[in-house]
Amino acid sequence: MAIVCTVLAFTGCGTPPPTNGRVEISYWEKWTGFEDDAMQAVVDDFNNSQNRIFVRKLTGIGEVERKLMLATAGGDPPDVAGIWPATVPSFSEKGALTPLDKMVKEAGIKREDYIPVFWDLCCHHGFIWALPSTPTSLALHWNKKLFREAGLDPDRPPRSLDELESMSERLTIVEVKRDGQMARVRYPDLTDAEKKAKDFKLVQVGHDPQQPGWWMPMWVFWFGGKLWDGERQITANSPEMVQTFHWLQAQSEKYGVDNRRAFGASFGNFQSPQNPFFSDQIAMTLQGVWMYNFISKYAPQMEWGAAPFPAKDPATYPLVTIVDADILAIPKGARHPREAFEFIRYVNQQGPMEKLCLGQRKFSALIKVSDEFYKQHPNPYIKEFVELAKSPHAQYAPRLSVWGAYNDEMNVAIDRIMALDATPEQALDTVQSRVQWKLDRMLTRWDMVKDGRLKEWSDYDAR
């Protein structure tokens, strides 16, 4: 109860309204601002649509995963929680989530109702642990004005990784000293001696794979690789991963470690007009469907486009993307699981889902979408993101309870190779040994409790 009181104080909810004898379910959500407003409108619609259940949403909950685990362990969890798919493996294996399989089946909800990858994100060990609220996919965003200034076709994004690198060089501008004066030139116009000396200052860069840096270990997807074999082995030092790391390291070898650090130090906050993409410092970036919201707020005059980020081998791996989602789950020990599921089911109907996703300027996780949704959507490239999510090459973070540690180790390795302190092979071998050891330990523990857990989940019935 102390955690709930803390959250109430944090959100400033004040005196709760009367529920008129209805079953009240508590809903914890991490959103703030217009994203929270969009979900509140759906909550209000649900509350007004019937007189049996009242959803009370507690909003802006920071560190929602940690607080949810503490509340669940303390026997006082909310009825519904908005979390991320990456938490599902760990939370389910630790017995902190309620399996939804029987309720989903009773409701007639099927995988075929969804863009497949978003259903899969909600599953683990063959059980359903959540349903989507708002999804995302990632695409290349490019600055058309900078393309035009570089002599490139502003309406033609790169179609292969090699072409992206060529365009990136043309879009890169440096300051270099010539005849005692500082001159601004495009990188391809530097002399071989100037390129070798790296005695220049980066002013504008075509593409920086470390910007924003949120998905660094997952660049391997664009090289046709994976992060694990789907069963018991991670693949941190696979040939595809080594190739990926050599591509990353080439950025430091080309432009210089110190030059790249100094350039990165000049960036403003992501959510500001000083974001390097908005301020014409970076011409191309990998970003999610949400980027439209920030462009419209911080750079409304910007000419931009969105398209699939090109793979190393685009003929074999077209439409590669990373997907993620916000999901709605029922914690283990929730007081009103069936009423909680009724709300989750409501959100996953076409009308409420479209209202929520339109309010957040995202796309629906459902296969069936109305023409009106696309007509009203302000993002001119919204269908690009939908097609990327439907691609067989849509990828997501590994379904591993050790993914947090794996991701941390990969980012340490990336820092080493970008600083030219280690070869890709050396850095990745270290990750492989450290994380495989952690995965082996986790799997050993899981093997000891697996049969009991699977039976418990199969037998669960919210009635």
C-alpha 58/C-alpha 12 separation (Å) is 9
**Which residues, at least 6 apart from 331, have a Cβ–Cβ distance to it below 8 Å?**
68, 71, 72, 77, 78, 79, 81, 96, 97, 98
Query: 428 lies in a domain?
Result: no
Q: Which residues form the domain of 383?
A: 2-136+324-395
pLDDT value at residue 1: 43
Query: 224 lies in a domain?
Result: no
Task: Provide the domain count of the chain.
Answer: 2
Query: 318 lies in a domain?
Result: yes
pLDDT value at residue 6: 44
Position 253, amino acid: E
Query: 415 lies in a domain?
Result: no
Query: 69 lies in a domain?
Result: yes
Query: 434 lies in a domain?
Result: no
pLDDT value at residue 61: 87
Q: Are residues 83 and 126 in the same domain?
A: yes
Q: Are residues 174 and 122 in the same domain?
A: no
Query: 149 lies in a domain?
Result: yes
What CATH code is carried by the domain that includes residue 155?
A: 3.40.190.10
Q: Are residues 118 and 151 in the same domain?
A: no
C-alpha 111/C-alpha 153 separation (Å) is 41
Q: What are phi and psi of 56, to 5 degrees?
A: -110, 115
- With a cut of 50, list the residues of the chain below it in pLDDT: 1-15
pLDDT tens digits along 292-325: 999 999 999 999 999 999 999 999 999 999 999 9
Among residues 452, 364, 357, 456, the alpha carbon closest in space to that of 98 is found at 456
Q: Are residues 341 and 203 in the same domain?
A: no
CB atoms closer than 10 angstroms to residue 113: 16
Q: Are residues 184 and 86 in the same domain?
A: no
Query: 455 lies in a domain?
Result: no
Q: Are residues 194 and 207 in the same domain?
A: yes
C-alpha 168/C-alpha 143 separation (Å) is 12
Q: Which residue has the tokens 């969804």?
A: 114
pLDDT value at residue 18: 66
pLDDT value at residue 16: 59
Q: Are residues 187 and 275 in the same domain?
A: yes
CB atoms closer than 10 angstroms to residue 380: 11
